[in-house]
Amino acid sequence: MPTEPSHFSDYRESRFQFCPECGGDLVREQISGRLRLRCRKCGEVHYENPFPAVALVCRNERGELLLTRRAEPPSVGEWCLPGGFIEVGETVQEAALREFKEETGLDGRLLGVIDVASRVNGYWGDVVLIGFETEVIGGVLTAGDDASEVRFFSSDDLPEIAFDTHRKMIEVIRQKEQGRS
C-alpha cells in the first residue's frame, strides 16, 4: 500500500474546511494511496496542489548578482532572488517579468529556464519554483512591492540567501557558467 510522503506528519493543516461545491464538511481520507480531502456531503475530492512561483537570476555586465531584501514575511530583512507567485490569468513568463519589474523597477528579457525546484511544507505550503535567467533591458533599479532594498552583489560577497530553492537556482547558474569557461 502506498504511504504518505515523509513530510506528511509535519504538513500544515488544510486551508479548507468546507466544500466549495456544496458547503459540506471536508474530511481527510485515504484516496488513491494518499490522504486527500473529500466532502462528506457531495463526495467531491479536493486536491491540494503546490503554489507555482518564479525566481529570476540576473547578472550585470560585471557578473554581479541582483538580489532583493524582503520587506514582507517570510524572512523579512533577508536577501533573495526577485520573484513571486504566478497569478491567475497570466503565463509563467508574464509572471516572471511582472515580478521582476515590481520588485526591482527593471524591465527584463527572459533568456531561458534555469531549473525547477520544490519546497515542501514551507511558509506558504508546498511551492514549485521555476527559475529563469534574465537580462535587464530597461527601467531604473528601485526597490518596490515586497522588497525593501535591491542591489547587485559580487559573487565573492553574496549575503545569506533566504530560501533553499533560490540557493539552488544560483548554484545551477554558477555550475553552468563554470562549464562555459
Three-state DSSP string of the chain:
CCCCCCCHHHCCCCCCCECCCCCCEEEEEEECCEEEEEECCCCCEECCCCEEEEEEEEECCCCCEEEEEECCCCCCCCEECCEEECCCCCCHHHHHHHHHHHHHCEEEEEEEEEEEEEEEEECCEEEEEEEEEEEEEEECCCCCCCEEEEEEECHHHCCCECCHHHHHHHHHHHHHHHHHC
pTM score of the predicted model? 0.83
Regarding whether 76 and 55 lie in a shared domain, the answer is yes
Q: Can you give the pLDDT at residue 13?
A: 60
Q: Can you give the pLDDT at residue 3?
A: 37
Q: Does 6 reside within a domain? A: no
Q: Does 93 reside within a domain? A: yes
Regarding whether 125 and 67 lie in a shared domain, the answer is yes
Give the count of domains, the chain: 2
- Of 106, 162, 99, 98, give the one whose Cα is nearest residue 135: 106
Displacement of CA 159 from its chain's centroid (Å): 19
Residue 70 φ then ψ, to 5°: -75, 135
Does residue 149 carry a catalytic annotation? yes
Regarding whether 31 and 72 lie in a shared domain, the answer is no
Q: Can you give the pLDDT at residue 124?
A: 78
**For the chain, which residues score pLDDT lower than 50?**
1-12
Residue range 24-44, pLDDT digits in tens: 999 999 999 999 999 999 999
Q: Could you list the residue range(s) of the whole structural domain that residue 18 is in?
A: 13-46
Q: Can you give the pLDDT at residue 88?
A: 95
- Which residue in 4, 87, 94, 149 is the catalytic one? 149
Q: Does 122 reside within a domain? A: yes
